[in-house]
């Protein structure tokens, strides 16, 4: 009888073991590679519907991985978006400007914990390559924030003379050149990324590759310039596609594909005021700098052969804020408290591992759109998006600038039909969520503001 | 010596045999299936970038076949577009209205030769299923124009009481019902298509399936209604996707996949004035009824496992006018004279077999855009499109209605930047092509106008 009881006591454990699906046999501490384009539009890849730009490597990445159709950057601007990707925190908590310039006094605060800090402590080799844009003083640079190595430009490729000094490529935190030929950047970044992968093939690694392109001024490499019928913008995107192809090929050839999660996405939407030197948000409204969908919804592809299902399309809402907790879960470094970093800082994302594994969406949670100056512009919950403020770099006042505006983003992805008058209860619910969020953000200010 | 000479005489034959690539071993007289949606937008399929509408079967069709990104219907309106698909002739030569109504006195002239006429004479079984819209008198209907059988509606699903009689589904040329439940149409058409394939599995066949949907009024089937987050429009498209999946599955299961060429496309762009009951042209301007790109450029997928390369994207310009000569070439029924039908009629397309085989584009040729009343609105040659007239059902006068307008459709697929002033030579060349085309069409009028 006691034997029978002890067998019985094992049953729950057996049930758990049997319920664990095959994909839980995924490798421990997988590598993480984040490939981050600059100002790429939602509609600018072949697999997201562009008719002209050739992206065979990204299309293959999507065929071998999962394409997200409602994936957001955390901000429609470069600096703020990058802060959120690396810290898992909304840039309204950063304590610094929406877009940093070379003379900005602030940058990434010493007390912030980045994904690189976390993964390095978990035993990962870490490298940042490309655009940083979180402060250009040494204490703000990648080496001070968890990265073992860095090669890149500390800010945007359009911050140039005569207003600014010649752009300084850095190796670590040392200036190694002045005013480089920008057409070499994508190639050099790619070579550095490949070298980092080669050198760390035998241990877990985190590679953060933030391309300079297709941000203006467009400088595609010599092998790409003048090749795309879409013009210089197409050339720059096609060179990034080439770069992605080389990196995935290297992972395959080194036998690392099945233990590397790769994310390709962009920091914000297309810079449409640049005309044909800017990209296209496809069927989405507006672009960079705006909290209309075109400003923040990005093409996104997750790739991890054997773990992330091939050829899937994921339509759940997710964002770059989710990368931080997802990567920590994969690295086996759970946080002491959900929604809080190891430094006590508020985290705004959550793990999307179930989405990556194709196991369905977690329950709805709000997504917040912050516009210029980190001002809350809009909130999304499920299919509903409420605009409390709107702005566009084009100067256009869609809907005569009227707010609030309510859209059903699934029925109406192009934000054409305002339903605020028809759905007062939804407006009230989202308005309350927004007010609560603003209070919470005001309460949990930046490390800078704590003195 | 004579033996050596006779061997030598074989050499050229050997050379030809060796040069013939594998794909030339394609089956003789392949089946042809044309799946023709109604008012589907360029951006409304998953594989063309729609974020919400679920089209797994069409996405798989694209992954197994070739997706065309610059494929046109021959007209932005239902009737004219269908005339061109079936005859290979621009609808300006049809002799009847741009859009026929139930009381229209004219329809498909007895002297026209359709693709069904040609393929039937080549030994094919032929069936039309779905929307006809080329005249509703018996002499205009499918049985009078090469089809062995027909089940469908003779005109659009929005031509309803009180203005018109209850819509009459036909079996052959007999009315079998009055005012059917439109939500059954996609399912019934699909079942009829499957039955036709089953019955003709042992001989070549041509199936022309013209869906009623997603043309308004939207009536998705019971299994689809209320299922798509995109609303009724999404439901209707998702049901068509289901239908396509069933048809391709049947071809696979009967072992016919490798001897069947399937084309999926639409008759014209999305009916955007219908708001959320209309679709999306993605990054293209305007929609149905207009000669802006959104009115006439269609999602198009060609599928023929083993012959049409899998997973390719084809960016060359092609149109539904090309189906007629392409199908005749495949059926081994060359025309006596290029550009002329067996009845002496001018043909406006040409075989795109090299594109389907992935062997590159033929030389540039003009493509002509005809607007309301078959009036020539625009001409495209290579990357250039010249608008001589513009119109939109939305009433919008883009560019203040100014003409001519010149766009580089590869650099600027959304038609945003008029280059007419910068490229006077291109304007002159395209203006001359347009004038020549108008003269030619006036000279080669319709069979109706010959008395």
How many percent of chain B have pLDDT more than 70?
Answer: 94
Q: Tell me: the pLDDT tens digits for A410-443?
A: 999 999 999 999 999 999 999 999 999 999 999 9
pLDDT of B3 reads: 52
CB B283 within 8 A of CB B384: no
Confirm whether B41 is domain-assigned: yes
8 Å CB contact of B52 and A69: yes
* Residue B3 token pair: 């033996």
pLDDT tens by residue, B255-289: 999 999 999 999 999 999 999 999 999 999 999 99
| Residue A390 forms part of a structural domain | yes
A227 touches chain B (CB under 8 A): no
Residues B308 and B375 in one domain: no
pLDDT of amino acid B364? 87
CATH of the domain at A208: 3.40.720.10
Q: Is residue B131 part of a domain?
A: yes
**CB-CB under 8 Å, B231 with A51:** no
Check whether residue B226 and residue B347 sit in a common domain: yes
Q: Given CB atoms, is B416 within the 8 Å cutoff of chain A? A: yes
Domain range enclosing A344? 26-356
φ, ψ for residue A339, nearest 5 deg: 80, 5
Which of residues B326, B356, B386 is at a domain's end? Answer: B356
> Where a domain ends, among B301, B331, B356?
B356
Beta bridge partners of A264: A35, A301
Query: Among A142, A145, A144, which Cα is nearest to A130's?
Result: A142
In a domain, A7, yes or no: no
User: A436 and A320 in one domain?
Assistant: no
Model confidence band, residue B451 (pLDDT cutoffs 50, 70, 90): low
A377 is catalytic: no
At B108-159, the pLDDT tens digits run: 999 999 999 999 999 999 999 999 999 999 999 999 999 999 999 999 999 9
Q: Are residues A313 and A396 in the same domain?
A: no
Q: Answer whether B213's CB lies under 8 Å from B240's CB.
A: yes
Which listed residue (B50, B78, B219, B377) is catalytic? B78
Here the ipTM equals 0.92
A131 and A233 within one domain: yes
Name every chain B residue with its beta carbon within 8 A of the beta carbon of A218.
none
pLDDT at position A19, please?
39
Instruction: Please determine, for residue B320, whether its predicted confidence score (pLDDT) is greater than 80.
Output: yes
Q: Is residue A346 part of a domain?
A: yes
Q: For residue A142, give the nearest of A92, A205, A86, A81 by alpha carbon.
A: A86
pTM above threshold 0.90:
yes
CB-based contacts of A74, cutoff 8 Å, min separation 6:
A80, A81, A83, A84, A85, A90, A91, A296, A319, A320, A321, A348, A370
Looking at the fold, whether B162 and B308 belong to one and the same domain comes out as yes
- Do residues A225 and A232 make contact, with C-beta atoms less than 8 angstroms apart? yes
Q: Please indicate, yes or no, whether residues A284 and A409 belong to a single structural domain of this protein.
A: no
Task: For B100-144, give the DSSP string.
Answer: --TT-S--S-TT---HHHHHHHTT-EEEEEE---S-SSGGGSGGG
Res. A1 pLDDT band, cuts 50 70 90? very low
Pairwise CA distance, residues A337 & B353, whole Å: 62
Which residues in B lie closer than 8 A to residue A413 (C-beta atoms)? Answer: 50-52, 230, 280
- pLDDT bracket for residue A15 (50, 70, 90): very low
User: Under a CB-based contact definition with an 8 Å cutoff, are residues B56 and B47 in contact?
Assistant: no
Distance CA B146, CA B341 (A): 15
CB A57 within 8 A of CB A262: no
Residue A450 pLDDT level (bands cut at 50, 70, 90)? confident
- Residue A257 within a domain: yes
Q: Is the peptide bond before B217 cis (omega within 30 degrees of 0)?
A: yes
Beta bridge partners of A399: none
Residue B434: phi, psi to the nearest 5?
A: -65, -45
* Token reading at B391: 């119109």
Query: Do A178 and A129 belong to one domain?
Result: yes
Tokens of A373: 């100056």
- pLDDT for B17 equals 38
Q: How far is B75 from chain A (nearest CA, A)?
A: 20
Nearest CB among B59, B280, B383 relative to A283 is that of B280
Domain identity same for B352 and B376: no
For residues A265 and A245, state if they share a domain: yes
Cα distances (angstroms) measured from residue A163 to each of A155, A168, B263? 14, 14, 56
Pairwise CB contact (< 8 Å): B313 & A416: no
Residue A6 falls inside a structural domain: no
A311 touches chain B (CB under 8 A): yes
B361 touches chain A (CB under 8 A): no
Q: Can you give the CATH number for the domain in which A434 is found? A: 3.30.1120.10
Considering A356, A390, A411, which residue would you say is the last residue of a domain? A356
Question: Which residue of chain A comes nearest to B52, CA vs CA?
Answer: A410
Q: Which residue of A has its CA nearest to B55?
A: A313
Domain co-membership, B346 together with B391: no
Does any domain span residue A4? no
Of B269, B315, B296, the closest CA to residue B72 belongs to B296
Domain tally for chain A?
2
Same-domain check for residues B405 and B257:
no
Cα–Cα distances (Å) from B226 to B186, B213, B218, B221, in that order, read: 16, 15, 12, 10
Residue range B364-384, pLDDT digits in tens: 899 999 999 999 999 999 999
- Is the confidence at residue A3, as pLDDT, over 80? no
B43 touches chain A (CB under 8 A): yes
Q: Which 3 state secondary structure label does DSSP give B414? A: coil
């Amino acid at each position: 009888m006691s034997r029978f009881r002890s067998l019985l006591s094992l049953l729950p454990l057996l049930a758990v073991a049997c319920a664990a699906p095959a994909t839980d046999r995924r490798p421990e501490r997988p590598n993480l590679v984040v490939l981050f384009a600059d100002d790429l539009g939602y509609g600018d890849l072949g697999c997201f519907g562009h008719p002209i730009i050739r992206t065979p490597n990204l299309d293959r990445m999507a065929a071998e991985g999962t394409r997200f159709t409602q994936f957001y950057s955390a901000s429609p601007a470069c600096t703020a978006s990058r802060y959120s990707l690396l810290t898992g925190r909304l840039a309204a908590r950063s304590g610094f400007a929406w877009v940093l310039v070379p003379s900005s006094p602030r940058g990434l605060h010493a007390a912030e914990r980045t994904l690189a800090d976390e993964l390095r402590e978990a035993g990962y080799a870490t490298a940042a390559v490309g655009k940083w844009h979180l402060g250009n003083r040494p204490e703000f640079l990648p080496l001070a924030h968890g990265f073992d190595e860095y090669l890149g430009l500390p800010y945007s490729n359009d911050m140039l003379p005569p207003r600014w000094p010649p752009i300084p490529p850095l190796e670590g935190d040392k200036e190694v050149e002045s005013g480089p030929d920008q057409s070499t950047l994508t190639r050099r970044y790619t070579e550095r990324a490949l070298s980092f992968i080669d050198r760390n093939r035998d241990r877990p690694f985190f590679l953060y590759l933030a391309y300079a392109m297709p941000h203006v001024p467009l400088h595609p490499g010599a092998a790409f310039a003048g090749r795309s019928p879409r013009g210089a913008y197409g050339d720059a995107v096609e060179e990034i596609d080439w770069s992605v192809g080389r990196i995935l090929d290297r992972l395959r050839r080194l036998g690392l594909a099945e233990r590397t999660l790769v994310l390709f996405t962009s920091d914000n939407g297309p810079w449409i005021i640049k005309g044909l030197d800017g990209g296209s948000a496809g069927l989405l409204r507006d672009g960079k700098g705006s909290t209309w969908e075109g400003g923040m919804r990005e093409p996104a592809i997750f790739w991890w052969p054997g773990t992330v299902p091939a050829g899937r399309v994921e339509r759940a809402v997710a964002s770059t804020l989710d990368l931080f907790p997802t990567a920590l879960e994969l690295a086996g470094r759970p946080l002491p408290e959900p929604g809080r970093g190891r430094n006590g800082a508020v985290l705004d994302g959550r793990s999307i591992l179930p989405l990556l594994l194709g196991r369905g969406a977690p329950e709805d949670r709000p997504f917040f759109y912050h516009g210029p100056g980190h001002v809350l512009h809009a909130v999304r919950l499920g299919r509903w998006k409420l605009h409390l403020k709107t702005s566009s770099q084009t100067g256009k006042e869609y809907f005569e600038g009227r707010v609030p505006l309510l859209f059903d983003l699934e029925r109406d992805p192009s934000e054409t039909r305002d339903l605020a008058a028809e759905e007062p209860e939804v407006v009230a619910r989202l308005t309350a969520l927004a007010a609560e969020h603003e209070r919470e953000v005001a309460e949990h200010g930046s490390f800078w503001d704590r003195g």
